[in-house]
Chain A
């Protein structure tokens, strides 16, 4: 069981570029959650998805950020036109059912230069 796989581990983007972060949930998990961790801050909820559906995106910034979890393939968190303030660690978690058995990935550290 490979666990939750996130890639890339580190991503450097220039201001204005797009960042794509990928998350493959654990085998058997159909619920995916994205969190952002800023320096010296706790993890902040961004979005909760099930296959092909966004269940709760109340933590997502209204502009430039989007997420998907297609029927086939990993979940993608996309940040368009990145700015320096987007620099953070982005963690993905998955679970077999809502509210139970969260497992986190190792995160993607995004640096915007």
Chain B
């Protein structure tokens, strides 16, 4: 158990809909990272938050957004869903200091868009 929690575990929805994925980082970690894993693209970085502020963006679509709340949990919002958004979505967290690249992953949310 990495200490990172994600809900829900599975999500099935229809094209055009909007969903929210939730992540709680490990106790004491200030950084939250979101990744998408698909068969064709592998594990891809989406976005990072540090202590409530957006720090870095990767290949995140404009239809996707995220935020980190004062209690440090984070939500990833996916809107106008398309079939190709079906994937595993992971969040990871790391602690402040010199080894922030050492990230611990949650169990993921499997999204299926029908």
Q: Do A and B come from one complex?
A: no
Interface residues of A (CB under 8 A from B): none
